[in-house]
Amino acid sequence: MKRGGLYDIAIIGAGASGLLAAIAAARLRPELRVIIVEKNAEPAKKLYATGNGRCNYLNTGLSPEAYSSAELGSAPEIAKTLFHGNAYGVISDFLRGIGIEPKESSEGRVYPRSMQASDVVSALLSAIRSERIELLCGFDAKEIVRVEDSWKLQSAERDYLYARRVIIATGGRAGIQYGCIGEGYRLAQAFGHRIVKPIPALTHLITAEDAGAMAGVRAAGRVSLIKLMGYGSVTAASDSGEIQFTKTGISGICTFNVSRHMRFEDGVSYRAELDLLEEYGEEELNELLLERRTIFAAEAPEAIISGLLPRKAAQYIVNRAGCLPRERCRDLDRDRVRRIAQLCKKLSFTVTGTGSWKDAQVTSGGVSLTEVDPAELSSRLAKHIYFCGEVLDVDAPCGGFNLGFAFASGMTAGLSAAASI
Ligand SMILES: Cc1cc2nc3c(=O)[nH]c(=O)nc-3n(C[C@H](O)[C@H](O)[C@H](O)COP(=O)(O)OP(=O)(O)OC[C@H]3O[C@@H](n4cnc5c(N)ncnc54)[C@H](O)[C@@H]3O)c2cc1C
């Protein structure tokens, strides 16, 4: 039960961005009274699950271009402000200063040296204690109202406290099982902030075609997301890596990365085109398959590609090319060989949806950046209200960029709020 009490800064949400905001504020101005309120019984619930329990918390390649806004597109101003110069060095040094030692892995992904997400949480909570920041769990903030020159934060249980500055660090809607239901949007809307429609991102794609026969197959390749509109089509996103086939469609990191760019609107549909043999041009592959037709003349049709692709994928492709199980490679005419080569290069699926909020790692969309100051992360509509983390309309691909944004924006919001007092 918390009734009353006046704080200098109150932060709503003890996730990655909120914890960093509190630590940065308290370090800049140790004399300030800082409190974090968290609706869950424990802080940082989601952080334990990040990076499959290893917490890929940064990427050495942090740059504005890694980020997009669903409303404003690639490299929005906020990303340019947060990630200029040696942003990676600054954030990494700050985190090292609270005991998080980095270990760099492939593609610039940065993990804690122990490869344990729990060690990142422990270090953050240790800093919260040593900076004498109050952490109040079980406080589900429902309302922020102006009372003279402070804000009154009211919880679902009618507990309340006052603060001179409030930082909204409530996250988005992704990872709903960790308590994220998009409460921050409602809090922001109460001040007149516009919310860019949130959609689940970094998740699998559901396809109309039944590719269940390939469930469990993993193959290296490129996924291109094609956006179809009444007047034509464009490649909305494309990424290479390990494609995983599931009972309902496709998954894997490269699929997650293109899922960020899917927005179903009236008259818009999507297709995923997979290139499962990226290293070959279509002509080159066609020639190779004609040779293999001779080498494997007496074998079933999938033999023509099964040394190039996992067997189940080979079977699926020759079936889609219209081959029959009783046929042999020597029965395949040039057109069918060509068709198989084309399918390897452009295996097309109609995308009917994405994973749910439970499956998604981030939210695309959120509080519109047009009403937030990109340097201070303060609201342009409500004085002394700040935002940080996933609640904002910013998202990035897998690889430590999203936690990078949570940490960078948390630091900035905390420093701005503290400096303004
Ligand atoms: C399974 C999974 C794995 C991921 N792995 C990675 C990874 O390896 N690398 C990476 O960069 N990103 C990863 N992400 C994304 C990353 O975790 C998020 O982008 C990041 O945590 C966002 O930080 P945040 O502080 O904005 O929000 P959150 O971490 O979601 O924290 C928000 C906090 O606010 C609290 N809250 C919400 N509403 C209220 C309210 N009304 N009152 C009080 N408290 C409230 C929530 O309970 C929560 O604790 C992963 C996400 C998931 C789901």
SS3 63: coil
Residue 182: CB within 6 Å of ligand 1?
no
Query: Percent of the chain, pLDDT > 90?
Result: 94
Same domain, 37 and 115: yes
Number of the ligand 1 atom closest to the C-alpha atom of 55: 8
Residue 285: CB within 6 Å of ligand 1?
no
CA distance 75 to 254: 20
Residue 362: CB within 6 Å of ligand 1?
yes
Name residue 136's beta-bridge partners: 37
| CA 190 to mean position of chain CA atoms | 26
Same domain, 272 and 331: no
The CATH number assigned to the domain holding 404 equals: 3.50.50.60
| Per-residue model confidence as pLDDT tens digits over 271-330 | 999 999 999 999 999 999 999 999 999 999 999 999 999 999 999 999 999 999 899 999
337 touches 155 (CB < 8 A): no
Residue 363: CB within 6 Å of ligand 1?
no
Residue 406: CB within 6 Å of ligand 1?
yes
Query: In testing the pocket of ligand 1, which one of 403, 407, 409 has its CB within 8 Å of the most ligand atoms?
Result: 403
| Per-residue model confidence as pLDDT tens digits over 24-37 | 999 999 999 999 99
Q: Which domain-ending residue is among 321, 347, 373?
A: 347
Residue 180 has pLDDT above 90, yes or no: no
250 touches 207 (CB < 8 A): yes
Cα distances (angstroms) measured from residue 28 to each of 36, 73, 184, 217, 377: 16, 33, 26, 51, 17
| Per-residue model confidence as pLDDT tens digits over 69-115 | 999 999 999 999 999 999 999 999 999 999 999 999 988 999 999 99
Residue 239: CB within 6 Å of ligand 1?
no
Region 169-175: mean pLDDT is 96
Same domain, 165 and 238: no
Residue 230 has pLDDT above 90, yes or no: no
Query: Mean pLDDT of all residues in the chain?
Result: 96
Domain region containing 213: 201-278+348-354
165 touches 420 (CB < 8 A): yes
Number of the ligand 1 atom closest to the C-alpha atom of 184: 38
- The pTM for the full model equals 0.96
171 touches 387 (CB < 8 A): no
Same domain, 104 and 194: yes
